[in-house]
Amino acid sequence: MQVVTTWLTTGERINRSVPVIPAPFSYHRPKTIAEAIVLLNQHGDDGRVLAGGQSLIPMMKLRLAAPEHLIDIGGIVELKGVQLRGDTLVIGAITTQHELQGSKIRRHARRQRRQRRSGKRHASRYALP
Ligand SMILES: Cc1cc2nc3c(=O)[nH]c(=O)nc-3n(C[C@H](O)[C@H](O)[C@H](O)COP(=O)(O)OP(=O)(O)OC[C@H]3O[C@@H](n4cnc5c(N)ncnc54)[C@H](O)[C@@H]3O)c2cc1C
């Protein structure tokens, strides 16, 4: 089989005459959550989110998945990172495992949770009946 590398820009459609492995699709790369939502609403069930592509791309190569529109959220900076919002640890949808493991906030939240747990254990152990 002939190997063809095709570089896509946002909204560009793969030329059907180009021999590629997956079924034809349009590629979108929104820059904001709002843009991604517009695309998802526009394309409904024909659209599919692409994050890291570890599962979706092999499925597309085998044609077990054939989305008409691929919405790549990899460029949405708002979806990256780990934040502590009050008591809630918020992990962005495109945060990598490596970033999560190295996150100071995650370590801080884990320490707090451990302290709370040991505090509870301590309190129950010494609680008066
Ligand atoms: C060699 C290998 C080893 C693996 N080992 C493990 C393992 O040990 N443990 C484990 O848990 N997994 C494992 N996996 C699975 C891997 O973690 C998944 O492929 C991964 O979680 C998919 O994430 P992705 O970002 O690549 O998603 P994608 O492949 O981009 O997407 C997967 C699906 O999720 C949807 N999706 C993605 N992001 C969003 C979003 N923000 N909102 C809505 N829908 C979304 C996509 O439309 C698609 O249907 C392994 C995979 C491989 C290839």
User: Each residue of 45-89: pLDDT tens digit?
Assistant: 999 999 999 999 999 999 999 999 999 999 999 999 988 888 788
Residues 28, 71, single domain; the answer is yes
Tell me what the mean pLDDT of segment 102-112 comes to. Answer: 80
Q: Which of 48, 54, 100 to mutate to test the pocket of ligand 1 (most atoms within 8 A of CB)?
A: 54
Q: Which numbered atom of ligand 1 lies nearest the CA of 59?
A: 29
The two three-digit tokens of residue 109, written as one number: 């939240």
Lowest mean pLDDT, pick from 9-18, 89-98, 112-121: 9-18
For ligand 1, atom 39, which residue shows the shortest CA distance? 49
Per the CB < 8 A criterion, the answer to whether 21 and 2 are in contact is: no
Q: Which numbered atom of ligand 1 lies nearest the CA of 65?
A: 49
- pLDDT number for residue 78: 93
Residues 58, 112, single domain; the answer is no
Amino acid code (one letter) for 119: G
Tell me what the mean pLDDT of segment 2-20 comes to. Answer: 53
Helix (H) or strand (E) holding 83: strand 82-85
Tell me what the mean pLDDT of segment 95-116 comes to. Answer: 84
DSSP states along 7-43: ---TTPBPPTTS--SSPP-EEE--SSHHHHHHHHHHH
- pLDDT number for residue 127: 47
- pLDDT number for residue 88: 83
Domains of the chain: total: 2
The pTM for the full model equals: 0.75
The two three-digit tokens of residue 39, written as one number: 């695309």
Lowest mean pLDDT, pick from 2-11, 12-21, 84-93, 104-113: 2-11
Give the CATH number for residue 6: 3.30.43.10
Mean pLDDT of the chain: 82
Residues 62, 92, single domain; the answer is no
Residues 74, 85, single domain; the answer is no
Q: Which numbered atom of ligand 1 lies nearest the CA of 55?
A: 29
Domain extent for 116: 80-126
